[in-house]
Structure 1
Amino acid sequence: MGKKFKSLYPEYYDEFKCIGGSCEDSCCVGWDIDIDKITFRKYYKVQDSEMKRMFQKNVHNNEESFSDDVDYGKVKLKSDKRCPFLDCDNYCVIHSKLGEDYLSNVCTCFPRITNLVDGCYERSLDVACPEAARILLLKEDGIKFKESEEVIGKHIISNQVDTKAKELKNSLAKYFKEIREVSIKIIQNRNLDLSERLYILGEFINGLEDESESNFNNISKFIKNYDINTAEGFYEKNSLYFMLQIDFFKKMISLLNVDKEVDSALFKEYTKQIIKSFNLDKEEVEPRKYIKIFEEYNKKYMDEYTYIFENYLVNFIYNNMFPFNEKESIFDGYIMLLMRYSFMRFYLVGKYIEERKDSKEDIVRFIQIFSKTIEHHRSYLTKSMRHIKEKEFNNIEFAKTLL
C-alpha cells in the first residue's frame, strides 16, 4: 500500500465514475490528446501486432512539449477530430485491449483535477465532462468539502503553491487559502441574491488590492473581519445593464470566432441561435426590447436554479486557484469569473427567446458544453482579457453591468 497524503476535496468527488461509451459527449473528440513519456514508450513495446501498428501510425513525438509527464507525445486525430483509438461505440480500444495501465496520464486523470497547496492534494472535477457536470452542478444543498489522508494514485498537478515560501512574503498569495475560503463563503451565502453575492465578491477582491497597496500588514485582519453580508456601495439591480451586456457580448462572440475556432457542433448551434435571437448580425441592435425577456428568464429559471450557478462558481473558485488564476492582478481573476457567468446567462437567455422553455437538465448540459468550449480554447480567454483591459473594463463599475 502506498504512502498516504493529506487530501482536500468536495464530497461529490467520490461519486464520479466514467460512463464511457454511454456518454453523450466525449473527451476523446475535439481535443488534442497528450501522451506522457512513460506511456509513450510503453506503446512502442507492446506485443499485440494490431495495437503496435495503430500506435506507430497514430502516436508521435510532440516537438512543443512543456512536460514529459503530460505531453511528451500526441495522438494524431482523425479528420473529424476523433481519437483513432475510439471504437464505433465510443469505447477506448487501448483500455479494452491492453488495460487501464496503458492509458496516458491525461486520459487516466480527466476530468479529475489535482492542485497541490501547502503539501495538501486538492482534488475536484472539471464541468467540461457531462457526468461530472451532472454530479456537481445538481447538488441542491451546495458543495461541501472534506479532508482525509489517502493514497494519491496517478495524477497531474495542475497548479501548486506554498504560501509559506519566502518569495510570497509580501504577496497576496501568502493569504491564498484565507482569500479563497472567504470567496466561497460569499458565493454560498444564500441569504442574498446571486448577483448581490457576486458584487460583494468583487468588493472583497477590490478591497484586498487596495489594502495590499496601502497597508499590507493589515491584510490578515481585513480578511478575518470582512462582512460577507454587506459591502459599501451595495449593488442594486438595474435592468438597463442588460442593454449594455448585449453590446459587450456581441464583441465577445466575435472574438470567439465560432465558425473557425470551435469544433463543437452543438456550441455552434447555440451561437447561431442567440445571434438570431438578439439580431446580433444586424448593424444596429435594439436591446431595449430584450429587457423584459432577461427579467422573465431570471424569474423563471435563474431564481429557481440558482444553486446550479452557485455550484459552478464555487467549483471554479476551488479548482482554478481563484483569484490568482490571472497573471497580473487578482481583480482580473474576478472579472474573468464574472464574464464566464454572465456569458453563460446571455446564451441561456438567447436560447429561451427561441424555445420559450428551459430545464435544469438543459442548463447543466449547456454549462458543460460552454465550459468545454471556452475553458479549453487555445486563445479565447487571453483575447477576452486583453479586450477588457484595452477598454478599461477591469473595474467594479463595469462588473455591475455584467450582473
Structure 2
Amino acid sequence: MQKNVKMIYPSYIDKFQCIGGKCEDSCCIGWDIDIDKETFKKYHKVTDEAMKKMFQKNVHNNQYCTNKDLDYGRIKLGKTKRCPFLDDENYCLIQGKFGEDYLSSVCTQFPRVLNKIDDHYEISLDAACPEAARIILGSKEKIEFKESEKSLGKYIMSGVLDTRSSEFKDTPIRYFKEIRDFSIKIIQNRNLNFSCRLYVLGDFLNELEDIESNEIKEFIREYDIESEAKSYKRESMNYVLQVSFLKNVLDSLDILNENDSHKFKKYTKEIMEGYNIKDNEPVIENKDEYINAFEKYTEEYIESNSYIFESYIVNFIYNNLFPFSESDCMFDGYILLLFRYSLMRFYLVGKYIYNGKDSVEDMVEFIQVFAKAVEHDKNYRSDILEYIKENSYDNMEFAKMLL
C-alpha cells in the first residue's frame, strides 16, 4: 500500500485526467520513451505470446542509461517517432492488456512534474500536454496552491532541494521558498501590465544577486513592486530589435530541419512568411509594420488575455525550481525565462501577421506546441544561455530589449 506524503500543489491539479486516444498531440508520439528497470523486467516476463514478441522487438537496453530507475531501457521508435504500442486509435496496448501498473514511470507520470523541497513534495502539470495546457492556461483565476496528503504512486523526481543543507548556509538558495513565492507575487500583480511585471521580476532578482544572504528576507519585505514598476517604460523600437535578434536565433536553431514537431515547423513557416524578412534585407526596412503589429497584438491579445501568460509563467516558476532553474545564478534563470516568453510572443505576432487574427484557443494550442517542441529541448537551452553569456547579454539592458 502506497504511503501518503505531504504534498503542495496548484489547485488545478485535481481537474486533470488523461484523455488518452482523444488527445490531439499524444505524448507517445514525437518523444523518446524511457523504461525503468523494474518495468523493463516485467515486459520480458510476460506470457502473452503476441505481446512478448512486441516487447522483444521494440524494447531494448539503453546504452546511454543514466539512472536505472529512469532510463534503463528504451522503446524503439520509427521515423515518425510514434510508439509501436499505440493502436490505430492512439490508445496504449500495454495499458489495455496489462493495466496501468505495467506502464513505465515516465508514461505513468507525464504530464505531472514532481519535485521535493525540504520535507514536502510539490506536484504540478507540464503545459506540453494539450489537456494540461487547457487546464493551466484556461482559467482567468490566479493559480493558487493547496496542501494535503497524497499518495506518490509511481514517480520520477524532477528536482530535489534541501534548503537546510549546510552547503547552502550562506547562499540565496537557503531562502529559495521566499524568493520563489515573491517572484510569483510579482507575476500575479494584475495592477501592472504584463511586460511591466516581467521587468520588475528581473529588477528584483538582479538586485537580489548583490544582497548578503542574511539580509535577503529583509530585502524581500521592503521591496516595493509598484514603486519599482514606475521605472519601466516600453520602447517601441525594441520590437524591431527583437525581430532581428530572434530571427537570427531561429536561423541558428535551424527549426525546420532540427525540430521533430510538425506543428512547430508549420508555425515557423507561417511566421517567416508573415514577417517577410528577405535575405540580406535589414529588418529596419519594415520597422513601422513590425511596431504596429507588436503594439496591436500586445493590446488586443496579450494584455486582454494576460491571465494566459501569467499562468504559464507562474506554472513554469513552480515546476522548474525558479530562479535556480538554470544554475545557482538567479539572473540566469530569469533571462532564459524572459527569452522563452519573448520567443513565444515573436511567434504569436508572426502568426497574427500571417493570419490576420488570433483567438484564445489558438493561443493556448500554440503555447502547448511551443512547450513540447522547445521547452523540452535541453540542447537549445544550453546553447542560448551560452550565447547570451558570450555576448554579455545577461543584464537588464538586454532584458528591456526582450520586453
TM range (shorter): over 0.9
Equivalent position of 1:117 in the other structure:
117
CA contact (8 A) 1:255 1:383 kept: no
Equivalent position of 1:314 in the other structure:
314
CA contact (8 A) 1:255 1:380 kept: no
Residue 234 of structure 1, CA deviation: 1.4
Residues 332 and 348 from structure 1, CA distance in 2 versus in 1: closer, same or farther, beyond 3 angstroms? same
Equivalent position of 2:254 in the other structure:
257
Equivalent position of 2:6 in the other structure:
6
Structure 2 residue identity aligned to 1:14: D
Q: For 1:261-340, what aligned pairs fall within 5 Å after superposition?
A: 261-284=258-281, 285=283, 286-289=285-288, 290-327=290-327, 329-340=329-340
**1:300 aligns to what SS in structure 2?**
helix
**2:225 aligns to what SS in structure 1?**
coil
Structure 2 residue identity aligned to 1:288: K
Residue 151 of structure 1, CA deviation: 2.1
Equivalent position of 2:106 in the other structure:
106
CA contact (8 A) 1:8 1:146 kept: yes
* 1:209-254 deviations in Å (ceiling 9; x for gaps): 011xxx3321221122222223187110111110110111012212
Distance 1:326 1:174 in 2: 17
Equivalent position of 2:243 in the other structure:
246
Structure 2 residue identity aligned to 1:368: Q
Structure 1 residue identity aligned to 2:186: I
Distance 1:380 1:99 in 2: 36
**2:163 aligns to what SS in structure 1?**
coil
**2:27 aligns to what SS in structure 1?**
coil
**1:195 aligns to what SS in structure 2?**
helix
Structure 1 residue 158 and structure 2 residue 155: aligned? Answer: no
Residues 33 and 281 from structure 1, CA distance in 2 versus in 1: closer, same or farther, beyond 3 angstroms? farther
Residue 349 of structure 1, CA deviation: 0.3
Q: For 1:149-188, what aligned pairs fall within 5 Å after superposition?
A: 149-188=149-188
Residues 287 and 180 from structure 1, CA distance in 2 versus in 1: closer, same or farther, beyond 3 angstroms? farther
Alignment match of 2:217 (pick from 216, 220, 223): 220
CA contact (8 A) 1:32 1:77 kept: yes
Distance 2:328 2:242 in 1: 25
Structure 2 residue identity aligned to 1:222: F
CA contact (8 A) 1:114 1:155 kept: yes
Distance 1:281 1:383 in 2: 25
Residues 219 and 130 from structure 1, CA distance in 2 versus in 1: closer, same or farther, beyond 3 angstroms? same
CA contact (8 A) 1:46 1:52 kept: yes
Structure 2 residue identity aligned to 1:353: I
Residue 79 of structure 1, CA deviation: 1.9
Q: For 1:56-205, what aligned pairs fall within 5 Å after superposition?
A: 56-205=56-205
Structure 2 residue identity aligned to 1:80: T
Larger deviation, residues 197-206 vs 230-239: 230-239
TM-score calculated relative to the size of structure 1: 0.97
Residues 380 and 148 from structure 1, CA distance in 2 versus in 1: closer, same or farther, beyond 3 angstroms? same
Equivalent position of 1:388 in the other structure:
388
**1:121 aligns to what SS in structure 2?**
strand
Residue 256 of structure 1, CA deviation: 2.0
Distance 1:79 1:2 in 2: 39
* 1:91-111 deviations in Å (ceiling 9; x for gaps): 110011111110000000000
CA contact (8 A) 1:255 1:384 kept: no
Residues 287 and 163 from structure 1, CA distance in 2 versus in 1: closer, same or farther, beyond 3 angstroms? farther
Could you tell me which runs of 5 or more consecutive residues in structure 2 were left unpaired when the two chains were aligned.
none
Distance 1:398 1:377 in 2: 23
Distance 1:84 1:99 in 2: 17
CA contact (8 A) 1:275 1:281 kept: no
Distance 1:165 1:246 in 2: 44
Distance 2:277 2:20 in 1: 38
CA contact (8 A) 2:274 2:354 kept: yes
CA contact (8 A) 1:185 1:228 kept: no
Paired positions, count: 400
Q: State the percentage of identical aligned residues.
A: 56
Structure 1 residue identity aligned to 2:244: D
CA contact (8 A) 2:28 2:83 kept: yes
CA contact (8 A) 2:256 2:268 kept: no
Distance 1:113 1:207 in 2: 30
CA contact (8 A) 1:246 1:287 kept: no
Distance 1:187 1:232 in 2: 12
Structure 2 residue identity aligned to 1:29: I
Structure 1 residue identity aligned to 2:353: I
